[in-house]
Every structure is written in structure tokens, then in C-alpha cells.
Structure 1
Amino acid sequence: MLWSALRHLLWVILLFFILSLISFAILMRDPLNEALIQNNILGSYVYYLSALLQGDLGITYNGGQSLTSLIFTVLPPTLELCFSALLLAFILSIPLGILSAVNNQGIFSKALQSLSYVGLSIPIFWLAPILLYMAAIYGWEISATGQYNLLYEIQPITGFPVIDVWFVDVPYRTKIVQSVLQHLILPTLILCILPTMEIIRIIQQRAEYIIQQNYTKTAVTRGWSKWKILQRYVFRNTFPLLIPQITRVFTLVITQCMLVETVLGWPGIGRWLIGAVSIQDYNSISAGVIVLGICIITIDTLAKTVMFILDPFNKKGWYAR
């Protein structure tokens, strides 16, 4: 147990070191930092690393704001969008994946499998403007850009409007909640397509493998009901294996979120980074790379911690418990 924790800690330190090198290399692309390269690049990197460890990301050239405070402004909207998309993806994909695996030779399973491949291949930068256009043409309530109507004022307590809206003390708070949810629905639906299809594919493959095992076939001959087999064997051997996939799915979602934010006017870190690239603000780009990397490392650490709690001995399956 201790060796596993130390090994993961060393791995996290190595990843952070690689991230800092990449971020420092981006920072050195700035012509204003050429003097640092000519004098002492090692000393400059040590100074940069010490500033990172103290939480100092520098300032942005576009206005001279502190990047640390700016990151805390643009990061929560992106995380809100990613987590809502992942939550909806799990709600949709788990029952669909199980139903498809149970009836693996039926029309529903084959249709869902074909649909999952189509969903994985659809480019998000093409789908987002089309859905926005259709929502606007047909007058859908979700045809909105941004986080909420700018006529309303929400104090940034946590940085997540879907949470902060409940702290608003005005008579028309219900309208503000409705506005926040209406603006959240369309980007969430767009972003949840890829993780939903990916999780369905994983559940299908794993559940079909479990159903074909001898201990499952033996349970069928004993007269066990289909629900009992699902509960005793399929669920126990399928759901825990989704946890290690959270990091990869989260990485895919946060990558696509950058494109969705630009199309739908969502004030997140992806839209902010694309704007920084367009004006060659290397300080902001460097800080964004560090922050996104830390987010992914944090999600990976949490997933491995939960996996270790569920299966500390790294067994092959849970059916014997």
C-alpha cells in the first residue's frame, strides 16, 4: 500500500515537472523573455518553478491582470460544463450499455453499437453550430449563448453559476435559475455525446465478456433470474472498471469543451486560451497549459484513489466476493 502511494506520488511529481518544462518552453517563445534565455536559462527555470509552487502565474499582457485570479474566473465555467456533460453521459450510458449487453444479438444492441461508432466520429466543431442554428430556427428554449442572461446578476461565490444562483436573494430567482439551466442544456447535450458513446462501448464489451463466462452460464442453469445475474456478476465486474476510464473521458471532454465554448460563447478557459493564442499572449498560454494539466492529474489521482479503495489488491474481478 505504501509503495503504491509513493510510486503514484513520484509519477505525479514527474508529470508536474514535464508540465513545467512545456509551460516554460512556451513562455520562452515570448520575444520579451529573450534576455532570460541569453543570460541563464537554468536559473530562469528555477525562478519560474519556484513562482509556480507559490501559486504565482504572472500577469497577462492583455490588460495586465493577475493570471491566478483570471484562471479562477475562467476555469469554473469549463469545469461546470465538463462535469454536467459527464454526469449526463453516465446517466444515459449505463442503462443503455447494460440493456445492449443483455440483448447482444437483438436489433437494439446492433443499432446502439452502430450509433456509438457514429457518435464517436462526429466532429464537435461541426455539430455545435448546426445544433445552435436548428435551436434558433425552430425557437427552442435552449437556443442561447453564454452562461445566463446578462440582465441578471449572480455574485460569484463558488464560481459555478449553477450553484451560485441558489444564493441569489431576489423575488425573481426562479427566472434566473431557468436562465442558467437553459444556457447549460445545449452545450451539455453536445459535449455528452462522445463520453456517452464511449462509456456505452466499454460497458457493452465488458458486460458481454462477463455474460459469456462459465460462472454466469452456471448461474443460468441453476435457474437464477436475469436481474440476479446482472446484480451479482455483471454490475460488480463492469461498473468498477469504468473508474479508470474517467481520466481519459474527462480529457476528451475538456478538449472538446474548448471548441464548444468558442461556438456557444461560453466564458471558459478554452475560449480564453484561444483568444490568448490569437493575440500571442504567451504568459496566458503557459498558465493555461499548467492549469489544464493539473486538472487532469487531479482527476487521475482521484480515480486511482477510488479504484484503490474498491480493489486494494488489484484483483481481476469482483465475482468471487
Structure 2
Amino acid sequence: MLSFLQRRLTLLFITAFILTIIAFIVDRVLVASHNPEVINHQNYFYQYSNYLWHILNGNFGYSSLDNKDLIKRGLVFFASTLELCFVALIFSSFFAIPMGILAGLFRNSRLDYVIMTIAIVALALPVFWVGVMAVLLPSVWGDLLPVDGNLSLIYDVPVVTGFLLIDTLFVVDKYDLFAFIDRVAHLILPALTLSFFLITEIVRLTRSSMTMVMRSNYIQAAYAKGFSRRKIVVAHALRNALPPIIPQLRLQMSTIFSFAMTIEIVFNLNGIGKWLFISLKSGDYLVLPVGILIISGFILTFSIFIEIFMVIISPLRRSALYAD
């Protein structure tokens, strides 16, 4: 186990080192191409060492538009994007896991064909088009849900954690739960739009995992002992079919974040996608390497954390680890 942790932490540091090199190259090439006067003629090793030293000290630079700390603003906007992805994951899991379980239990049946057809159609729909259609819903069905912004302008919520679902709970004395409810209302349509892609992935993964588990020898032995199908599915199949979905889903993290950033632009959400888009459009190119480090760093750290977590909870992964 210690050697496994050592290998993963080594991988984390090496990949983080490569990310800083990529961010440095983007910073030098992109910024220098738009501002030739800032080109430094010192050797690149010295420039990179200086750049890495500033990063290790938390100095990622300041915005050329409002002179605010880039890393602090980037983390606040990234927290909003994480919140959107988390709510979308809850929505998609609520619908997709039962659909995937049914498709796996009744593989090659009419129910399986209907579920997979729905999943394939959801995957084929471009996420930005689904977002635009969701924005047009109030003009067709009436003003049911907000389609613009993170929170109504009547609420003044100070930034504490960056997650508005949490920050709105800190102003309960001032607004009761109305600010929290308003935040939830602003998240519903964007999260449902993002969940279209997630539903497809979770249905496919759950169906494949459930099918493999139901064909396992211990499931056949449970049938031979006379256990009911319901008991076998609930007590044995689900417990072994759901954990393998987690490491497979983490491979889609980069795609999920790219879709989330697109949705932020469509719904005018103050997330990291909109922040990067507006900043680059306004000529504030220093935000690009900061955005690369924040997003890539989170995906890398999250992936390694999931690997360690799966080794802890999965006996099969632990046995394979000890065998290696």
C-alpha cells in the first residue's frame, strides 16, 4: 500500500511539474505576442525558475483589467463550476443508475432497447443546443425557472467558500432560506442540461457493470441456492456493480468540465468558463495559464484521490495491488 501511495504521489508531482511548464510556455508565448514590450531576454531556465517560485508562493499574478489577484478570483469562479457539476451529477445519478440497472438486468429486451435509445439520443444532442433550448423555455412555458445568472440581484451574499449553496446558508438571518432557494432555482436548468451527457455515460457504465456481475459465478451460485432474484440484485449485484463505475466516470472529468464551461456561457453563470471567456475577450491573457493550472490541477488531484479511494474500498483492487 505504501509503495502504491508513493507511486501515485510521484505521478502527481511529475504531472504537476509538466503542467507548470505548459502554463509557463502559454504565459510567455501568448502574453508576449500581445505585449511585445514585456518580452524578457533572460534565459528561459531562469524565467521558469522565477515563475515556479512565484507559483509556490501563491503569486499567480494580477488581472490587467481590475488589478485583482488572479488565483483568488479563479478559485471562486471554479467553485461555482464545481457546484454546477456536482448538482448535475446528483440529477444524472438519480435517473441514470436505475435506468442502467434495469438495462443490465433485462439486457437485449425491449426495455433495454428503449433505455439505450434514450441514452444515445441524449448523447447525440449538442450540449450548447440543449442549453439554448432550455433558455427559450420561459418564452414557451412561462417564467418557471431563472435562466440567467447565479443568483437574483436582490440578494447580497458575501463570498465565504465560493460555493453559493453554502454561502447562502450563512445569510439565513438576513434572508431566511429565500436566497438558498433562489440559488437552487438558478441551478436547475443548467444542471439538467449538463446531466444529459452524464446520464448517457452513467447508463452505459451501469448497464455494462451490472451485466458482468449478473454473469459472475457467485451470482449463479446464489441462484442455485434458491435465493430470490430481488435479494440477489439488492444484496450482491448492486454492491459489486456500482463501485467500478466511479473510476470509469473520472476519465470523463475533462469532458464534463468543458461542457460545464460551455453551459456557463449559455446561461450567463459566473463560473470559470465565463471568466476565461470574458477575460480573454477583453485582452486579459494572464488568466489563461492560471485557468490551465486550476482546472488541470483539480482533475489530476481528483483522479489520484479516486484511485486511492477505490483501493481502500475495493477488495479486488487491493488483491491486485498485493499481487503486483
Q: Normalising by the residue count of structure 2, what TM-score does the alignment of the two structures yield?
A: 0.91
Q: How does 1:99-110 map to 2 (within 5 A)?
A: 99-110=102-113
- Which amino acid in the other structure matches residue 165 of structure 2? V
- CA 1:48/1:171 → structure 2, altered by over 3 Å: closer, same or farther? closer
- CA 1:39/1:106 → structure 2, altered by over 3 Å: closer, same or farther? same
Task: Give the equivalent residue in structure 2 for 1:157.
Answer: 160
Distance (whole Å) between structure 2 residues aligned to residue 48 and residue 34 of structure 1: 18
Pairing 1:242–2:237 present = no
* Partner residue of 2:200 out of 190, 197, 201: 197
Tell whether the 8 Å contact from 2:219 to 2:232 is kept in structure 1 after alignment.
yes
Task: Give the equivalent residue in structure 1 for 2:134.
Answer: 131
Greater shift, 257-266 or 227-236, is seen at 227-236
Tell whether the 8 Å contact from 2:209 to 2:245 is kept in structure 1 after alignment.
no
Pairing 1:174–2:177 present = yes
Pairing 1:30–2:26 present = no
Deviations 1:111-163 (A, max 9, x none): 11111112222211111011110233311421431111111111222221111
Q: How does 1:21-100 map to 2 (within 5 A)?
A: 21-28=21-28, 29-31=30-32, 32=35, 36-100=39-103
Deviations 1:234-258 (A, max 9, x none): 2232111022124223322211011
- CA 1:122/1:215 → structure 2, altered by over 3 Å: closer, same or farther? same
Distance (whole Å) between structure 1 residues aligned to residue 283 and residue 174 of structure 2: 45
Q: What displacement does 1:219 show?
A: 2.4
Pairing 1:275–2:278 present = yes
Tell whether the 8 Å contact from 1:149 to 1:179 is kept in structure 2 after alignment.
yes
Distance (whole Å) between structure 2 residues aligned to residue 33 and residue 76 of structure 1: 34
- Which amino acid in the other structure matches residue 23 of structure 2? S
Tell whether the 8 Å contact from 1:100 to 1:108 is kept in structure 2 after alignment.
yes
Distance (whole Å) between structure 2 residues aligned to residue 161 and residue 35 of structure 1: 38
Distance (whole Å) between structure 2 residues aligned to residue 232 and residue 171 of structure 1: 47
Q: What displacement does 1:172 show?
A: 4.3
- CA 1:213/1:11 → structure 2, altered by over 3 Å: closer, same or farther? same
Q: What displacement does 1:52 show?
A: 1.0
- CA 1:277/1:172 → structure 2, altered by over 3 Å: closer, same or farther? closer
Task: Give the equivalent residue in structure 2 for 1:285.
Answer: 288
Deviations 1:165-191 (A, max 9, x none): 122144642332321111010101011
Tell whether the 8 Å contact from 1:144 to 1:182 is kept in structure 2 after alignment.
no
Distance (whole Å) between structure 2 residues aligned to residue 48 and residue 312 of structure 1: 43
- Which amino acid in the other structure matches residue 77 of structure 2? V
Q: What displacement does 1:66 show?
A: 1.2
SS of match in other structure, 2:226: coil
Task: Give the equivalent residue in structure 2 for 1:15.
Answer: 15
Root-mean-square deviation (CA, aligned residues, Å) is 2.0
Q: What displacement does 1:315 show?
A: 5.7
Distance (whole Å) between structure 2 residues aligned to residue 186 and residue 243 of structure 1: 25
Distance (whole Å) between structure 2 residues aligned to residue 6 and residue 191 of structure 1: 36
Distance (whole Å) between structure 2 residues aligned to residue 135 and residue 248 of structure 1: 35
Task: Give the equivalent residue in structure 2 for 1:185.
Answer: 188
Distance (whole Å) between structure 1 residues aligned to residue 311 and residue 263 of structure 2: 34
Deviations 1:204-261 (A, max 9, x none): 0111122223432332233211122113432232111022124223322211011100
Q: What displacement does 1:314 show?
A: 1.8
Task: Give the equivalent residue in structure 1 for 2:4.
Answer: 4
Q: What displacement does 1:312 show?
A: 6.0
Task: Give the equivalent residue in structure 1 for 2:232.
Answer: 229
Tell whether the 8 Å contact from 1:77 to 1:159 is kept in structure 2 after alignment.
yes
Tell whether the 8 Å contact from 1:246 to 1:303 is kept in structure 2 after alignment.
no
Distance (whole Å) between structure 1 residues aligned to residue 234 and residue 315 of structure 2: 22
Unmatched 5+ residue regions in structure 2?
none
- Which amino acid in the other structure matches residue 148 of structure 1? L
Tell whether the 8 Å contact from 1:19 to 1:293 is kept in structure 2 after alignment.
yes
- CA 1:316/1:241 → structure 2, altered by over 3 Å: closer, same or farther? farther
Distance (whole Å) between structure 2 residues aligned to residue 73 and residue 236 of structure 1: 36
Matched positions, count: 317
Unmatched 5+ residue regions in structure 1?
none
* Partner residue of 1:265 out of 259, 263, 268: 268
Greater shift, 146-155 or 168-177, is seen at 168-177
Task: Give the equivalent residue in structure 2 for 1:309.
Answer: 312
* Partner residue of 1:113 out of 112, 116, 119: 116
SS of match in other structure, 1:148: coil
- Which amino acid in the other structure matches residue 3 of structure 1? S
SS of match in other structure, 1:282: coil
Q: What displacement does 1:33 show?
A: 6.6
- CA 1:210/1:72 → structure 2, altered by over 3 Å: closer, same or farther? closer
